[in-house]
């Protein structure tokens, strides 16, 4: 998609269940696969990644749709919420610096 559409108006929305997996996927789409094992090994797409649980995403979504599609997951992931969000924000801030 990035090859066809370009990356200017493209973001990646993650729904991963842990801080570690969220960080790994955010790094993969921004800097390239950090494990050097996948198709994006060494390929920097420079795409900003957001987690579906970030407040910015929630505010941008239709409230009813967000609640029906994400609500249960948000409740289940509540204990890890801060860690997940901070891991993705950390990758964004590192790649935008």
Boundaries of domain holding 53: 2-96
Q: Outline where 1-97 has alpha helix (H).
A: 2-5, 19-30, 55-60, 63-76, 81-96
Q: What is the mean pLDDT of residues 12-37?
A: 93
Domains in the chain, number: 1
pTM comes to 0.86
What pLDDT score does 96 carry? 65
* Residue range 23-35: mean pLDDT, rounded: 91
Mean pLDDT of the chain: 90
Question: pLDDT-derived band of residue 2, with 50, 70 and 90 as boundaries?
Answer: low
pLDDT digits (tens, 9 = 90+) for 76-88: 999 999 999 999 9
CB of 50 closer than 8 Å to CB of 11: yes
User: What pLDDT was estimated at residue 59?
Assistant: 96
Question: Three-state DSSP class for 8?
Answer: coil
Residue 70 CA to residue 90 CA, distance in Å, equals: 22
């Amino acid at each position: 998609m990035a090859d066809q559409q370009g990356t200017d108006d493209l973001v990646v929305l993650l729904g991963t269940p842990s801080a570690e997996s969220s960080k790994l996927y955010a790094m993969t789409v921004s800097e390239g696969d950090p494990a050097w094992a996948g198709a994006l090994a060494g390929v920097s797409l420079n795409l900003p990644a957001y987690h579906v649980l970030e407040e910015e995403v929630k505010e941008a979504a239709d409230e009813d749709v967000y609640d029906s599609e994400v609500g249960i997951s948000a409740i289940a992931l509540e204990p890890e919420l801060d860690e997940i969000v901070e891991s993705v924000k950390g990758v964004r801030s590192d790649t935008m610096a």
